[in-house]
Structure 1
Amino acid sequence: MFPFETSSSPLWNAAGTLGFALPKRSPFSTGLGAFVTNPISWGPRTPAHGPRLVTYPGGVLLHTGLPNPGFRAVLRQFAGQWARSPLPVIVHLVAESPETVQRMVRQLEEVEGVAGIELGLPPDADPAYLTELLHAARGELPLIVRLSPEEDVPLPQPEVISLGAPRGTLPGAEGVWVQGRLMGPGLFPLSLHAARKWHARGIPFIAGGGVYHPTQAEALLAAGAAAVQLDLCLWRASWPEEGWAKWVNVPSKSSWGRR
Structure 2
Amino acid sequence: MPTVVFIHGLWLHSTSWAAWRELFEASGYDTLAPEWPGTPDTVAAARESADTIADHGIDDVTSHYLGIIGELGEPPIVVGHSFGGMIAEKLLGLGRVAGAVAVDAAQIKGVLPLPLSALHSTLPVFKNPANRHRAVSLTAEQFRFGFGNAVSEKESDALHERWSIPAPGKPLFEAAAANFSLHSPAEVDTGNEDRGPLLLIAGGQDHTVPEVITKATAKQYRHSTAVTDVIVFPDRGHSLTIDSGWREVATTALEWLQKQGM
The alignment's TM-score, normalised by the length of structure 1, stands at 0.36
Structure number with higher helix proportion: 2
Higher strand share: 1
TM-score of the pair, normalised by structure 2: 0.35
